[in-house]
Amino acid sequence: MGLSEVKAAARKRPKLQIFRDIEPALFTALATASFVVILGAWLLVSRLGLVDPVFLPQPQNVLAELVRQLGTGEYWTHIWISVFRVTAGFLLACAVGIPIGIFAGAFRAGSAVIEPPMEFIRYMPAVAFIPLIMVWVGIGEWAKILLIFIGCFFQVVLMVADITRRVNPDLLHVSYTLGASRWQTIETVLIPAIRPELVTMMRLILGWAWTYLVVAELIAVNSGLGYAIMKAQRFLNTEQIFVGIIVIGLLGLFSDRMFALMHKRFFPWL
Amino acid sequence: MTTAAEGTEPRIAIAGLGKVYRSRKSEFEALRDINLNIGKNEFLTLIGPSGCGKSTLLRILAGLEEATAGSIRIDGEPISGPGADRGMVFQSYTLFPWLTVRENIEYGPKLNGVPILERRKISDRYLKLIRLEPFAKAYPKQLSGGMKQRVAIARALANKPKVLLMDEPFGALDAQTKLEMQQILLDVWEKEKTTVVFITHDIEEAVFLSQRVCVMGVRPGRIVSEHVVPLPASRTEETRMLPEFVSLKRELGAWLKH
């Protein structure tokens, strides 16, 4: 085969191969490029005056607003109260949902009792519970935490049940033949086996928790990032709206990275 | 139908064992009238085509499935469910991926409350026996298939079971590794002195490892013939060339074609 034929053969293979790994440097470059393109498009559209700045503020103004807001104690109060609500609702949903999910996944009877009603409830929009929540617990902190809890809890249970069912049954059989009781098998095999996927699940659910937070903070509040966004809207202050959205995005990114780090740190066997 | 190897009282006594899978519409007889005595420290192999119920028989022995007829006694005691007296090695890799090699081996003793220093001694001994001392701190994902199965054997033996049940443990390994593993298993068996019930569909493997081979047939799953292996206790690669080895292989091959 001549050199030209080799080259022709190489050219025929498409660059994008399904699941094929790419150079880490190329990955970073592409990821950066995608941010740059988004920012560039934003800059272009707003600079050319294609859109009224009331609808789409200029990036540098948003940045200036971001710096200004983060310089005020008030904005940090909003951030902290939002972080508190998300964390409380999320942790509560995990603390209650994970054991129930394991029970439903491990035992067929548990699955029968727990999963059908959960499947039913999870299709009800959490937002529709808001009036009910206000009747139940009023409009205080518990109302926000409860909304986030409702938004996450049912998903947690069903996802944990599914994760639990996917554990290789031979691992359980091995532990039985090594003398483990049913409870010991749950403790020393089932739970360790699902830990990495539990962390992945929590990472996903935390994203949802942030979404429900913003919804929760649209109702009867005077603090939090959702409130800050709503207040800005009333004054048509689009820069502040953008700041609120970006801060939530950054907090989400930060917590997501924390979970990714935990995964590497706690599960060296993967 | 059978007596245990001479000079030993049976460790496992299987009598009239049957297994029928019933669903609403159909019935499937997986095992019929299995009678078998297995002696203390005997190495017995069950060989047969797929569908002959050899794995089902082993899983019933382990207590992971229930028979629908007959009984199994270990040292005269009827079995009820799985227990630490019957260790098992599976064909699929079943090491706990979150535990190191040493922790995998110590899993059984730890469950049974063996103190840590004692556990260390046990795992040291078995790491040496399976020749994997340098891998004590490795996780299963860092091991080759053959190494994983060696650890699985060590993990089962560290629990001091009366019986070691092996369900085609080398079935997924390449030919060269398989030969190596057979030699290691025989060394371990000689040093450990335990009763082994081994399952395979590889005739050569059956002859090389066992003292006695039972051939199983299909529809329904049953024992069709039984062969004492006329080979010296200690076996090497040269054993495979002996005329007795070759003729028993031929005989088993003929029975399997029935």
Q: Find, in chain A, the residue whose alpha carbon is nearest to that of B155.
A: A178
Judge if A74 and A151 occupy the same domain. yes
Residues of A in contact with B141 (CB under 8 A): 269-270
Task: Give the best residue of B94, B122, B126, B163 to mutate against chain A (max A CB count within 10 A).
Answer: B94
Inspect the interface and report whether the beta carbons of A192 and B96 lie closer than 8 Å: yes
Q: Which residue has the tokens 């207590």?
A: B63
Residue B164: phi, psi to the nearest 5? -110, 120
Same domain, A131 and A185: yes
CB contact under 8 A, A269 and B159: no
Closest approach of chain A CAs to the CA of B99, in angstroms? Answer: 8
Pick from A176, A150, A106: nearest CA to B59: A176
Q: Does domain B10-256 have CATH number 1.10.3720.10?
A: no
pLDDT at position B236 is 83
Angstrom distances, CA of residue B96 to CA of A125, B52, B152, B194: 40, 30, 10, 24
**Does residue A175 sit at the B interface (CB-CB below 8 Å)?**
yes
Closest listed residue to residue A166, CA positions, set A201, A193, A184, A139:
A193
State whether A152 and A238 are in the same domain: yes
- The ipTM value here is 0.87
Element at B37 (helix H, strand E): strand B27-39
Do A46 and A76 fall within a single domain? no
How far is Cα B228 from Cα A231, in angstroms, rounded to an integer? 89
Let me know how long chain A is: 270
Chain B residue nearest residue A178, CA to CA: B84
Same-domain check for residues A131 and A205: yes
Q: Are A269 and B140 inside 8 Å of each other by CB? A: yes
Are B64 and A177 within 8 A, CB to CB? yes
Q: Are A190 and A106 in contact (CB under 8 A)?
A: yes
Q: Taking the model in full, what pTM does it have?
A: 0.83
In a domain, A238, yes or no: yes
CB A156 within 8 A of CB A205: yes
Where does a domain end: A36, A54, A72?
A54
- Contact between residue B176 and residue B205 where contact means Cβ atoms under 8 Å apart: no
Does residue A19 fall inside a structural domain? Answer: no
Q: Do A178 and B141 touch (CB under 8 A)?
A: no
Which residue among B81, B111, B141 sits closest to A178, beta carbon to beta carbon?
Answer: B111
B-chain residues near A268 (CB < 8 A): 139
pLDDT of residue B253: 83
DSSP state letter for A15: S
State the smallest CA–CA distance between residue B44 and chain A in angstroms: 19
Of B62, B92, B111, the CB nearest to A180: B111
pLDDT block averages, 10 residues each, chain A of length 270: 67 78 91 92 87 86 91 91 94 96 93 90 83 84 90 93 94 93 93 93 91 82 87 89 91 89 85
The DSSP line for B58-84 is HHHHHTSS--SEEEEEETTEEP-S--T
| Same domain, yes or no: A76 and A143 | yes
Which of B34, B35, B37, B33 minimizes the C-alpha distance to B3? B37
A9 occurs within a structural domain: no
In chain A, the number of structural domains is: 2
Same domain, A196 and A250: yes
- Partner-chain contact A268 B111, CB within 8 Å: no
Q: Which residues of A touch B159 (CB under 8 A)?
A: 178-179
Which two tokens mark B7? Answer: 């000079």
Q: Do B98 and A177 touch (CB under 8 A)?
A: no
C-beta atoms of A177 and B139 within 8 A:
no
Pairwise CB contact (< 8 Å): A178 & B108: yes
* CA distances for A250 relative to A207, A229, A255, A263, B176, angstroms: 12, 15, 9, 20, 55
Classify residue A2: in a domain, yes or no.
no
pLDDT tens column, A10-47:
667 777 888 888 888 999 999 999 999 999 999 898 88
A70 belongs to a structural domain: yes
Residue ranges of chain B whose pLDDT lies below 50: 1-7
Residues of A in contact with B84 (CB under 8 A): 177-179
Task: Please give the Cα distance from A225 to A242 (Å, whole number).
Answer: 11
Q: Which of B55, B64, B123 to mutate against chain A (most A CBs within 10 Å)?
A: B64
All residues of chain B having their beta carbon less than 8 Å from the beta carbon of residue A176 are: 63-64, 81-82
Burial class of residue A62 in the structure, from the number of CB atoms within 10 Å of its CB (0-12 exposed, 13-18 middle, 19+ buried) = buried
Domain span holding position A228? 59-266
Q: Is residue A14 part of a domain?
A: no
| pLDDT for the residue numbered B4 | 45
**Mutation for testing the A interface, residue in B88, B110, B148 having most A CBs under 10 Å:** B88
Residues A120 and A38 in one domain: no
pLDDT at A9: 67
3-class secondary structure, B28: strand
Residue A91 lies in a domain: yes
Q: Which residues pair with B39 in a beta bridge?
A: B10
User: Can you say whether residue A236 is alpha, beta or left, with left for phi > 0 and alpha for psi between -120 and 50 degrees?
Assistant: left
Q: Which two tokens stand for residue B75?
A: 């040292």
Contact between chains at A168 and B94 (C-beta distance less than 8 A): yes
What pLDDT is stored for residue A16 in this prediction?
A: 81
Same domain (yes/no): A110, A220: yes
Let me know whether A107 and A47 are in one domain: no
Q: Is A95 on the interface with B (CB under 8 A)?
A: no
Q: Do A170 and B87 touch (CB under 8 A)?
A: no
- Indicate whether A235 and A132 sit together in one domain: yes
